[in-house]
Chains A and B, each alone.
Chain A
Amino acid sequence: MKYKVKESSKKLPDRRTFIQTLGSSCVLLLVPKFLFARENKKGAAWTYSNGYAPSEHYYGMGIDISKCIGCGRCANACKLENDVPREPFFFRTWVERYRIFEDGEVAIDSPNGAADGFKPGSAPEKNLVRNFFVPKICNQCDKPPCVQVCPVGATFKTPDGVVLVDSQYCIGCRYCIQACPYGARYLHPEKRVADKCTFCYHRIVKEKLPACVEVCPTQARIFGELEKKASPLVRFMRMNKISVLKPSLNTEPKVYYANFDMEVR
């Protein structure tokens, strides 16, 4: 059976036009990126109204494991300072306890991130060889995998070396949480955006210390400049044998541990 079909008056596009149209439509897809591109935060040379210029600083933190007594004040102060939910499973900083027994067994725990301090715990049946505390925090990696994976660029690195999350931008996809090898990030249950330690950025731009550093009774945490020779942090790093967490991942952490034990993970 044959149907009669009206001859179209329009000429059909030839193959070339077709491919051209196809190509240009694909390019058009990229237009919004250029139209709406916002200011690139990296390397911007801005100054705060109080005269603080991020590009003149480069921060890191030193942690002396032998000095930490596991009181957990840091974890507490951090929650207060940074509006971190009180309930468990949300931490910008926490403290782990390592107990190493005679038979080589390692027991690690961090009840409620140590926000209530450590209870002495039931008397261990086995003989304890070593017992120490390890404060953990976002390592403010120099090559942060969390920044690499964020689809919208909400996680970014400031000129002073701090990794921040822009909550206006964050879409809450949690890709960064998966990419951080240190468990340093969580999804804020109310704001529904990724959150983590900022080195108390709001404080350090006013030349104050991060809350956890300020409250630490034994000065196990040392905050400061990495690139100024006279800084206490540089001195701390010179005087101690320094380790970082998971060096094989090449994230180049800027939190430096002294008196580190190979059991720490």
Chain B
Amino acid sequence: MPILKEVSGYIYPNEIELHWGILIVVYPYLTGLVAGAFILASLVKIFNVREVQATYRMALLTALAFLIVSPLPLLTHLGHPEKSFEIFLTPNTKSAMAMFGFVYAWYLMAVLLLEIWFDYRRDIILWEKKESGIKKWFHKLITLFSSDASEQSLTFDRKAIKLITIIGIPSAFLLHGYVGFIFGSIKANPWWSSVLMPIVFLFSAIVSGIALVLLIYMVVTPMRGKEIDMACLNKLASYLFYVMIIDFSLEALDFIHRIYESEESIHILSELVMGKLFVSLIVIQLLIGMIVPLLAIAGVKLFKAPDELRKQVYFLSALLVQVGIFSTRWNVVIGGQLFSKSFSGLTAYKMTFLGLEGLLMSLFLLLLPFIILYVLFRVLPPWEEMREAQ
């Protein structure tokens, strides 16, 4: 058994192979992007920030595309995916994971789809009038054959959107806070068990969501032959910067708290951090994914850099942030299983390339939301100029 060579110290015999692999890393990463993108959209809506208006619909569609894919890694990872509906039929209400379906369905149906529907309803009605063939029928179908674009109904739409946004923000918090709770509530695992876990998950989710919308905006706008709006970009970057500061402080707090409160597990955890997780935690997550982008964004803002340089810095920073947040998820999920619950040994993670739980599958699942997003952009163009004049 080659894996035994990588085991150090004593670990319980059942623990040599990891039970949650890369798919369970992908799952909170995708879900985080959903929550983050939605919260960005809501901020735009609630505070009526004019500069970032252009990204409102884009962020909503991004959230939807990622939400559609986010249960797939969980499902693929199950030993018996065909029985997964049992989570709905006979959920164990004491289990954090059993809440997944309900939180998910609530978020998908009651928040995201409704908000998008109300936001687009008027436009689709107007588009559909000018269209013909399949497109017309498709648009007719998604307005659910409503054709009322009177002032009165539009007022209702606006009110509905407001209400949904107000319900939506706590729901987005719930969606990702709950994913953090899945880990944070495992008392047996000192790397996970922490009340701060849901909150840290949440803020890193917002960070990744804003960075993603920024990236998509920067890629899609030139592709459509349009100019990138610097005011919008600057604002997005500022949001990103501030939320990263909060996220950074929370993570630091969590870390200090662990050390200060250190128990019998501290030896194995420090061995883990300084050994197997050094590159992914200290170098990638902290340095490359957090400190470098923070300094870079602060730099261009402080020295009033020219627009061209800013664009490059923002783009690279947002990319690094994605890498950083992905490794955050990696370090939580994989890191938490590398040490034995005997607290006296470490094992290793051997990722497979092929197979349902392998690297290829994960890459596919990471790519899939972008394909869905492309389709969504096609059928529900989020661009400002596509909005029919009032």
Q: Do A and B bind each other?
A: yes
Residues of A within 8 A of B (CB): 1-3, 5-8, 10, 12, 15, 18-19, 22, 25-26, 29-30, 32-33, 36-38, 88-91, 94, 96, 106-110, 112-113, 136, 145, 148-154, 169-175, 177-187, 191-193, 249, 265
Q: How many B residues face the partner with a CB closer than 8 A?
A: 66
Can you list 30 residue pairs at the A/B interface with Cβ under 8 Å?
A: A5-B147, A19-B163, A22-B110, A25-B109, A32-B88, A33-B91, A37-B90, A88-B16, A91-B13, A106-B344, A107-B10, A108-B9, A145-B186, A149-B97, A149-B185, A152-B91, A152-B98, A153-B90, A153-B91, A154-B86, A170-B80, A171-B79, A171-B83, A172-B79, A173-B97, A174-B79, A178-B19, A178-B20, A183-B340, A187-B19
List 18 additional A-B contacts (Cβ < 8 Å) besides A36-B89, A96-B10: A10-B148, A29-B105, A29-B106, A88-B16, A89-B17, A90-B14, A149-B96, A151-B87, A152-B83, A152-B90, A171-B79, A171-B81, A175-B182, A183-B12, A183-B340, A191-B79, A193-B80, A265-B343
A19 to B164, CA, bound (A): 10
A193 to B86, CA, bound (A): 14
Interface residues of B in 348-388 (CB under 8 A from A): 388
| B152-160, B196-204, B212-220, B289-297 - the one binding chain A | B152-160
Q: How far is the CB of B215 from chain A (nearest CB, A)?
A: 32
Q: How far is the CB of A40 from chain B (nearest CB, A)?
A: 10
* Selected contact of A265 from candidates B95, B337, B342, CB within 8 Å: B342
- Please state if B83 and A169 are interface contacts (CB–CB under 8 Å): yes
Q: How far is the CB of A195 from chain B (nearest CB, A)?
A: 10
Asked whether B129 is an interface residue with its Cβ less than 8 Å from the other chain, the reply is yes
Asked whether B102 is an interface residue with its Cβ less than 8 Å from the other chain, the reply is yes
Interface residues of B in 6-42 (CB under 8 A from A): 9-17, 19-20
User: Known contacts A8-B146, A25-B110; is A192 also within 8 Å of B188 by CB?
Assistant: no
A8 to B125, CA, bound (A): 12
A265 to B340, CA, bound (A): 11
A191 to B125, CA, bound (A): 52
A33 to B97, CA, bound (A): 16
A127 to B186, CA, bound (A): 39
Would you give the 0/1 interface string for B57-80, flagging 1 where the beta carbon is closer than 8 Å to chain A? 000000000000000001001111
A244 to B83, CA, bound (A): 36
Asked whether B221 is an interface residue with its Cβ less than 8 Å from the other chain, the reply is no
- Please state if B159 and A15 are interface contacts (CB–CB under 8 Å): yes
User: Known contacts A172-B79, A185-B14; is A8 also within 8 Å of B86 by CB?
Assistant: no
Asked whether B249 is an interface residue with its Cβ less than 8 Å from the other chain, the reply is no
* Selected contact of B89 from candidates A7, A32, A148, A178, CB within 8 Å: A32
- Please state if A171 and B14 are interface contacts (CB–CB under 8 Å): no
Q: Which of A33, A149, A193 has the most CB of B within 10 A?
A: A149
Asked whether B226 is an interface residue with its Cβ less than 8 Å from the other chain, the reply is no
Which residues of B have CB within 8 Å of A153?
Answer: 90-92, 95
Q: What residue in chain A is nearest B89 (Cβ atoms)?
A: A36
Which residues of B have CB within 8 Å of A187?
Answer: 19, 79
- Please state if A249 and B188 are interface contacts (CB–CB under 8 Å): yes
Which residues of B have CB within 8 Å of A178?
Answer: 19-20, 186, 188-189, 337
- Please state if A91 and B20 are interface contacts (CB–CB under 8 Å): no
Asked whether B312 is an interface residue with its Cβ less than 8 Å from the other chain, the reply is no
- Please state if B147 and A152 are interface contacts (CB–CB under 8 Å): no
Q: What residue in chain A is nearest B263 (Cβ atoms)?
A: A248
User: Known contacts A5-B125, A109-B10; is A172 also within 8 Å of B78 by CB?
Assistant: yes
- Please state if B389 and A1 are interface contacts (CB–CB under 8 Å): yes
Which residues of A have CB within 8 Å of B20?
Answer: 174, 178
Which residues of B have CB within 8 Å of A179?
Answer: 186-188
A181 to B89, CA, bound (A): 28
- Please state if A12 and B153 are interface contacts (CB–CB under 8 Å): yes
Q: Which of A12, A113, A191, A249 has the most CB of B within 10 A?
A: A12
Q: Which of A29, A109, A173 has the most CB of B within 10 A?
A: A173
Q: How far is the CB of B309 from chain A (nearest CB, A)?
A: 40
A191 to B16, CA, bound (A): 19
